[in-house]
Amino acid sequence: MTGTDSGSASVQHVGTDAWTPSSWRSKPIKQPVDYENPAHVQKAVAKLTRLPPIVTANEIWKLRASLRDVALGKAFLLQGGDCAELFDYCQADAIDSKIKLLLQMSLVLIWGANKPVVRIARMAGQYAKPRSSPTETVDGKTMPSFRGDILNGYPADEREIDPDRLVQAYFHSAATLNYVRAQLSSGIADLHRPLDWNLGHVRDPDLQTRYTKIVESISESLRFMRTVGADTAGQLQTVDLFTSHEGLLLEYEAAMTRQLRHPPNRFTSDADAHSGSVQEDAIDDSDPTGSYNTSAHFLWIGDRTRQPDHAHVEYFRGIENPIGIKVGPTTPAEDLVQLLDVVNPNKEIGKVTLITRYGEGRVEELLPVHIEAVKKSGHIVVWQCDPMHGNTRSTTSGIKTRSFASIFKELSLSLSIHSSLGSFLGGVHLELTGDAVTECTGGSVGLLDEDLGLRYETFCDPRLNEKQALELAFLVAGHQRGKRPSVIAQM
Ligand code: PEP
Ligand code: CO
């Protein structure tokens, strides 16, 4: 099969040969990188393999246990961040605003779902982008496509692939996560402090009332918990925030893969620890060590690189981290089940998150087929909706955008479809930023196509700004809340 694109007919033989962090090299690969100087790449890779892990096996298992809870309906997953993270975003203000936004959205979602929320940032490593064409035209000039800061730079004179960027990616990732950890432990997420919800932009009086009521209800619950001293475990002082990125650049991912000892008690989630129950999945416990991707807690396979017999799936099948797979209009249901069998042969609950992204116009036709196929296969996955990537459009002047209404429509349809089929939506996956950009239209800020030029800053796909992202959380929470009697939320 090496070097060719083969169809799903050969898939029954996939995933049975011995796995190593570099076994993907013998498979055909999508989105390959033609480095001009292999010795230069080798030097960068050698450096990466000597550097310490960015995340630990313990943290990876903590997330894995939390995602098991999500798969079983005991928690909800919020994942969000930039489409293309730049090395330049490694700055205090940009990181702070993203942490605060994810925290506020998660509070709203806790209120809505009445479940704990697991937070994963698309941050501290989201530096590689798949592209549909090797070249692009910017301001009338055709040049090699921007493939993310880990490979080349956005400015026209930095489009050449530079292997030193692999090492720069490591240091930007480590510096970002170092600051996130420092801020969390210094109280940036301390819920004893009042949060600034800033709803002044909501012009519609009905919406303003609805959102204000939600904020009051959240603030009231927090006050109540403080008053009764419910914060015995310090849960109000800080929160967990995990990191993630698309595992696209396998040279980097393989170099960051380490054989580590499994942590003790790795099969027990927080919920299990409280209830005294222990996971009964058929996890292979014969080897005290495993292969961990230590560059992020969670990695996902993109829509363009998920062919069951190709390199990316081969790499992903061997790592201990919880993983995601993007699922879209071009995913045949049979491929989906084969993929799950390859990357998760023991059917471990919540090991795989299926990130569905069909677009508002196709979700009703496609999602039910995928839900039924997975149900029949016996895999228990996290179903997460990415309402961004199927809803990209161009304005008449050629600007790439997404409308808030389409994003919410795909999300609310996904919630309804899951519940009508006896399944449930476990999470959302969003492209967002804590800055006041103008990249997506609509929402209470009322952005129109002609406003997009005001602060259009993305280097890849359009992101929700802070107000739009928070509003989406309000709407999702309202949708979830509308489906059940009111109960006291768990912070
Ligand atoms: C992305 O998440 O930025 C992305 C490229 O998505 P997809 O693989 O679903 O197209
Ligand atoms: Co994107």
Candidate from 355, 389, 433 with most ligand 1 atoms within 8 A of CB, to mutate: 389
* pLDDT at res. 272: 59
* pLDDT at res. 222: 85
Candidate from 357, 385, 400, 463 with most ligand 1 atoms within 8 A of CB, to mutate: 357
For the Cβ of 303 lying below 6 angstroms from any atom of ligand 1, the answer is yes
Pseudo-torsion of CA 443, 444, 448, 449, nearest 10°?
Answer: -20
Closest CA to 110 of 81, 80, 78, 79: 78
- 355 CA closest ligand 1 atom index: 9
- 386 CA closest ligand 1 atom index: 9
| Residue 69 near residue 350 (C-beta atoms within 8 A) | yes
* pLDDT at res. 489: 33
How far is residue 59's CA from residue 329's CA, in Å, rounded to a whole number?
33
Contacts of 360 (CB under 8 A, 6+ apart): 387, 390, 391, 406, 409, 410, 413
CA of 431 to the centre of ligand 2 (A): 7
For the Cβ of 357 lying below 6 angstroms from any atom of ligand 1, the answer is yes
- 122 CA closest ligand 1 atom index: 2
| Residue 433 near residue 466 (C-beta atoms within 8 A) | yes
Token pair recorded at residue 42? 């080798």
| Residue 439 near residue 458 (C-beta atoms within 8 A) | yes
Closest CA to 250 of 17, 14, 23: 23
How far CA 192 is from CA of 105, 195, 219, 407, in Å, comes to: 17, 9, 10, 33
* pLDDT at res. 192: 76
| Residue 116 near residue 110 (C-beta atoms within 8 A) | yes
How far is residue 306's CA from residue 196's CA, in Å, rounded to a whole number?
41
How far is residue 267's CA from residue 68's CA, in Å, rounded to a whole number?
10
CA of 399 to the centre of ligand 2 (A): 15
List the pLDDT tens digit at each of the 491 positions of the chain. Answer: 333 333 443 445 688 889 999 999 999 999 999 999 999 999 999 999 999 999 999 999 999 999 999 999 999 999 999 999 999 999 999 999 999 999 999 999 999 999 999 999 999 999 999 999 999 999 899 999 999 999 999 999 999 999 999 999 999 999 999 999 999 999 888 887 777 887 888 888 888 888 888 889 888 888 888 788 776 666 777 789 999 999 999 999 999 999 999 998 786 665 555 555 545 554 566 789 999 999 999 999 999 999 999 999 999 999 999 999 999 999 999 999 999 999 999 999 999 999 999 999 999 999 999 999 999 999 999 999 999 999 999 999 999 999 999 999 999 999 999 999 999 999 999 999 999 999 999 999 899 999 999 999 999 999 999 999 999 999 999 998 886 544 333 33
For the Cβ of 53 lying below 6 angstroms from any atom of ligand 1, the answer is no
Token pair recorded at residue 333? 């249901």
CA of 206 to the centre of ligand 1 (A): 35
